[in-house]
A and B are shown apart, each in its own frame.
Chain A
Amino acid sequence: GIQVEQSPPDLILQEGANSTLRCNFSDSVNNLQWFHQNPWGQLINLFYIPSGTKQNGRLSATTVATERYSLLYISSSQTTDSGVYFCAPGDTDKLIFGTGTRLQVFP
């Protein structure tokens, strides 16, 4: 099955800083989503991005499917960005989650 590796595992930032989260996956996929899991456990959709680049406010994501990686960019980070960020590629409807990047943003 697909193997997913996310880096870094932990990230500590001061408010206003920018960051890049990386997701490597082992096989070709036709589905990839990024999620933010807030401190209450809710998974919030950030991007559906099996290929290409998308932007939503301070967040953007790029997936290079041929090279089997995806990047999530967070600019001007805020304390509300804290939580765990998951990358979840898949070859059908079954998403395979990585172990996530835990982000802490301090004021």
Chain B
Amino acid sequence: DTGVSQDPRHKITKRGQNVTFRCDPISEHNRLYWYRQTLGQGPEFLTYFQNEAQLEKSRLLSDRFSAERPKGSFSTLEIQRTEQGDSAMYLCASSSRGGGTRAYEQYFGPGTRLTVT
């Protein structure tokens, strides 16, 4: 169990540029989640996948945001035409929804810190 990994860990970009983040979940986990955390706040839910299907999207996820999980393994989160308000920590989590007492428990990656200048 190597844990959830995210790449890159830090990204600085200029306003208007596109950025893409990657998340690799724990290998046997079939659910994958994206959250966003701004300074002084708790993480906010963005979207989640079960295998390759995107099951729910928050209203926080504007049209400039798109997430994919093409083969039900890793996921990417793309932000187009970045704005300064997009500056935040983007967190990925995964869980195994397979019954038993550990269903629903989410494990988080280290996050990608995005700074838009």
Q: Which residues of A contact B (CB under 8 A)?
A: 4, 30-31, 33, 35, 40-43, 45, 48, 86, 88, 90, 92-100
Question: What is the CA–CA distance of A34 and B113 in the complex, to the nearest angstrom?
Answer: 22
Interface class of chain A by DSSP: loop
Which B residues are in CB contact (< 8 Å) with A90?
Answer: 104
Question: What is the CA–CA distance of A99 and B40 in the complex, to the nearest angstrom?
Answer: 7
Which B residues are in CB contact (< 8 Å) with A31?
Answer: 104
A93 x B105 contact (CB < 8 A): no
Asked if B98 is at the interface of the complex by the 8 Å CB criterion, the answer is: no
A45 x B107 contact (CB < 8 A): yes
A93 x B42 contact (CB < 8 A): no
Closest Cβ of chain B to A102, distance in Å, is 9
Contact-residue size bin, chain B (C-beta under 8 Å from the other chain): 20 to 34
**Extra pairs beyond A43-B43, A92-B56, A93-B95 (5, CB < 8 Å):** A42-B111, A48-B104, A86-B43, A88-B42, A95-B43
Question: What is the CA–CA distance of A31 and B105 in the complex, to the nearest angstrom?
Answer: 8
Question: What is the CA–CA distance of A30 and B104 in the complex, to the nearest angstrom?
Answer: 9
A95 x B45 contact (CB < 8 A): yes
Return the contact of A41 from the options B45, B56, B101, B113 (Cβ within 8 A).
Answer: B113
A-B complex: 10 closest residue pairs judged by Cβ atoms: A97-B42, A43-B108, A48-B105, A31-B104, A94-B45, A97-B43, A86-B42, A42-B110, A41-B111, A99-B42
B41 x A93 contact (CB < 8 A): no
Closest Cβ of chain A to B94, distance in Å, is 11
20 contacts between A and B (CB under 8 A): A4-B42, A31-B104, A33-B105, A33-B106, A35-B108, A41-B89, A41-B111, A41-B113, A42-B108, A45-B108, A86-B43, A88-B43, A93-B31, A93-B95, A94-B33, A95-B33, A95-B43, A95-B45, A97-B42, A99-B41
A94 x B110 contact (CB < 8 A): no
Which B residues are in CB contact (< 8 Å) with A98?
Answer: 42
Encode contact with A along B80-102: 1 for CB under 8 Å, 0 otherwise. 00000000010100010100011
Question: What is the CA–CA distance of A95 and B102 in the complex, to the nearest angstrom?
Answer: 15
